[in-house]
């Protein structure tokens, strides 16, 4: 008699309850049933009758810390997010639309960038958004850039890439494109210094994380399919697809198949964080980074939830530690509370700030010159809540890099390799 284990992931739960200990929301909000109850336990009831769906599942941050803690490999966060998409009766409104359609809003805003920034800072506008849309007035908005990264790239960098013989494809994401092109420029700077040309995707759409969490499944699938097509084209040319945002990377790798039902198994291994790619190059002796001697900073590193789930913070932190002048402080891995668009919503603001309290305190006590993290929304949350400046590790590496020396060293490495 041969009997295998259950094919129903939720049935693999052993009820050990360790996930509830790691849930940041449950600790601050007793109205949230917690990952075990909302996930595998609730799933049995929803299978019996969808009316058992509990709207309190909207409090799930999708941080996936429950999944990391689970010894039985139950995809608790996925079960909850999927239930929200499948059963929630709450239809997304204007606020959800505006917060999640980043490409649309970003394109519009970047055309009139500075105006939007000023308008968003007006008390009256913040008050109106708060009362009419439910976007919390205490929240600081990321500024929109005057020139989108893609535009800058086309004007200033694209032609220069063709002199390289090796390429990577860059998934810049919405934030680097519309709000903070410097991050994307820093990425190009480092990759070029390492001897790699940078291609952009044929057509890049928002990864869709905000669409998924705000209930726009169809829009998310549409964008994801376009992204997968472009990623496949890049992978067909043997180019890895690198990103500087942990959430974009995580969404493309894991949420596409788990929540949107899109098979990405052929390209999943080629999509990764830029820091992982760079670290592996250095670790295997295929490249070197040479840093300036005058770079001196105390840097505290915060692990974004989705990078924790990917298990890849080690790459970012190892690179930062390679910079001779860096006084490195590792912060405890805990959720900052913002969870993408979640923390922008008025009713969630108090939970966001309460979840982040411990992290904010630790940062203040560490007194760093800046905080490093791989996620843009963590950056907004920490900057707003602590006043400390936050940078992506890629930007820190770029600032600390001795570009000329790095180019020389890698050229020498290339010759050496050729000699062998």
Partner 1 sequence: MKGNNYDVIIIGGGITGAGTARDCAMRGLRTLLVERYDFTSGATGRNHGLLHSGARYAVTDRESATECIQENMILRKIAAHCVEETGGLFITLPEDDLSYQALFASACKAAGIDAEIIDPKEAISLEKSVNPSIIGAVRVPDGAVDPFRLTTANVVDARGFGAEVLTYTEVVGFIRDGERVVGVELRDNITKTRSRKYAGIVINAGGIWGHRIAAMAGATVNMFPAKGALLIFGHRVNNMVINRCRKPSDADILVPGDTISLIGTTSSRIPYDEIDYMSVTPEEVEILMREGRKLAPSLGTTRVLRAYAGVRPLVASDNDPSGRSISRGIVCLDHEKRDGIPGFITITGGKLMTYRLMAEQATDLACRKLGVRKSCETASTPLPGSEKKAKKKEAKRVFSMPGLGGKAAVGRHGGRNGRIDNSDRNGASLVCECEEVSVGEVKYALQELDTRNLINLRRRTRVGMGTCQGELCACRAAGLMANGCTAKALEDLAVFMNERWKGMQPVAWGETLSEAQFTSWIYEGVCGLSRFKEKKGGM
d(CA 323, CA 148): 30
Instruction: Give CA–CA dist 83/59, Å, rounded.
Output: 13
Binding mask 124-153 for partner 1 (x = CB under 8 A): ------------------------------
Q: Structure tokens of 191?
A: 């990759």
Q: Which is nearer to partner 1, 8 or 156 (CB)?
A: 8
Q: Which is nearer to partner 1, 46 or 148 (CB)?
A: 46
Identify which range of 40-48, 132-140, 192-200, 283-291 contacts partner 1 by CB under 8 A.
40-48
Q: How many CA atoms lie within 13 A of 366 on its CB side?
A: 25
Min dist. Cβ of residue 56 to partner 1 (A): 5
| Residue 33: CB minimum distance to partner 1, A | 6
Taking contact as CB under 8 A, which single stretch among the options 49-57, 109-117, 206-214, 220-228 is the one that binds partner 1? 49-57
Residue 71 or 123 with smaller CB distance to partner 1: 71
List 15, 163, 218, 237, residue binding partner 1 (CB under 8 A): 15
Distance CA 143, CA 214 (A): 22
Q: Which of residues 16-35 bind partner 1 (CB under 8 A)?
A: 16-17, 30-31, 33
Q: Phi and psi of 169, rounded to 5°? A: -105, 135
CB of 80 to partner 1, least distance (A): 13
Smallest gap from Cβ 17 to partner 1, in A, equals 7
Determine the size of the site formed for partner 1 (CB under 8 A): 34
Nearer to partner 1, 22 or 149 (CB): 22
Q: Does 90 bind partner 1 (CB under 8 A)?
A: no
User: Under the criterion CB under 8 A, does residue 36 sit at the interface with partner 1?
Assistant: yes
Assign residue 261 a region: left if phi > 0, alpha if psi is -120 to 50, beta otherwise?
left
- SS3 for 54-106, per residue? CHHHHHCCCCCHHHHHCCCCCCHHHHHHHHHHHHCCCCCCHHHHHHHCHHHHH
Q: Is the dihedral of CA 319, 320, 326, 327 positive or negative?
A: negative
CB of 301 to partner 1, least distance (A): 36
Provide DSSP, 94-151: HHHHHHH-HHHHHHHHHHTHHHHHHHHH-HHHHHHIIIII-B-TTPPPPPPPSS-HHH
**12 touches partner 1 by CB under 8 A:** yes
Q: Is 56 a residue that touches partner 1 (CB under 8 A)?
A: yes
> Interaction with partner 1 in 182-201: which residues (CB under 8 A)?
none
Binder of partner 1 out of 25, 26, 35, 54 (CB under 8 A): 54
Q: Are 362 and 332 in contact (CB under 8 A)?
A: yes
The closest of 343, 354, 347 to 380, measured between CA atoms, is 343
* Residue 17, token pair as written in the block: 């309850």
Q: How many residues does the chain have?
A: 420
Residue 37 as a binder of partner 1 (CB under 8 A): the answer is: yes
* Least distance to partner 1, CB of residue 31, Å: 6
* Residue 4 contacts partner 1 per CB under 8 A: yes
Check binding of 5 to partner 1 (CB under 8 A): yes
Q: Both tokens of residue 253? A: 């790798």
- The verdict on 13 binding partner 1 (CB under 8 A) reads yes
Question: How buried is 244 (Cβ within 10 angstroms: 0-12 exposed, 13-18 middle, 19+ buried)?
Answer: buried
For residue 345, give the 3-state DSSP assignment: strand
d(CA 349, CA 343): 5
Task: Write down the least CB distance from residue 53 to partner 1, Å.
Answer: 9
Query: Considering only residues 18, 21, 52, 330, which one is a binding residue for partner 1 as defined by CB under 8 A?
Result: 52
Q: How far is the CB of 61 from partner 1 (least distance, A)?
A: 18
Question: Which residues are at the interface with partner 1 (CB under 8 A)?
Answer: 1, 3-8, 10-17, 30-31, 33, 36-37, 40-45, 47-48, 51-52, 54-56, 72
């Amino acid at each position: 008699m041969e009997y295998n284990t259950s094919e129903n992931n939720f049935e693999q739960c052993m009820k050990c309850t360790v996930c509830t200990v790691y849930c940041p929301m449950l600790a601050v909000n007793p109205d949230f049933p917690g990952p075990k109850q909302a996930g595998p336990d609730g799933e049995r009831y929803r299978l019996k009758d969808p009316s058992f769906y509990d709207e309190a599942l909207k409090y799930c941050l999708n941080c996936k810390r429950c999944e990391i803690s689970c010894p039985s490999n139950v995809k608790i966060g996925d079960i909850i997010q999927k239930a929200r998409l499948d059963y929630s009766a709450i239809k997304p409104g204007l606020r959800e639309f505006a917060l999640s359609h980043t490409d649309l809003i970003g394109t519009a805003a970047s055309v009139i960038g500075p105006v939007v920034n000023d308008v968003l800072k007006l008390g009256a506008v913040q008050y109106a958004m708060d009362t009419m849309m439910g976007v919390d007035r205490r929240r600081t908005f990321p500024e929109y850039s005057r020139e989108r990264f893609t535009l800058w790239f086309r004007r200033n960098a694209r032609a220069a890439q063709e002199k390289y013989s090796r390429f990577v494809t860059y998934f810049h994401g919405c934030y680097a494109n519309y709000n903070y092109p410097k991050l994307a420029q820093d990425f190009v700077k480092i990759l070029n210094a390492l001897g790699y040309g940078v291609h952009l995707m044929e057509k890049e759409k928002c990864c869709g994380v905000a669409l998924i969490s705000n209930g726009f499944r169809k829009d998310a699938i549409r964008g994801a399919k376009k992204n997968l097509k472009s990623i496949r084209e890049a992978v067909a040319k043997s180019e890895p697809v690198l990103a500087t945002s942990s959430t974009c990377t995580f969404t493309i790798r894991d949420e596409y198949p788990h929540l949107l039902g899109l098979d990405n198994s052929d390209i999943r291994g080629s999509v990764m964080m830029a820091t992982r790619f760079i670290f592996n190059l250095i670790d295997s002796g295929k490249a070197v980074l040479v840093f300036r001697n005058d770079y001196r900073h105390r840097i505290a590193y915060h692990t974004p939830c989705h990078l924790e789930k990917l298990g890849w913070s080690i790459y970012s932190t190892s690179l930062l530690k390679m910079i001779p002048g860096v006084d490195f402080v590792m912060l405890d891995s805990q959720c900052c509370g913002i969870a993408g668009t979640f923390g922008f919503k008025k009713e969630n603001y108090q939970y966001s700030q309460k979840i982040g309290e411990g992290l904010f305190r630790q940062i203040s006590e560490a007194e760093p010159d800046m905080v490093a993290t791989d996620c843009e929304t963590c950056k907004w949350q920490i900057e707003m809540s602590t006043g400390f400046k936050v940078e992506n590790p890629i930007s820190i590496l770029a600032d600390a890099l001795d570009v000329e020396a790095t180019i020389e060293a890698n050229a020498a490495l290339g010759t050496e390799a050729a000699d062998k």
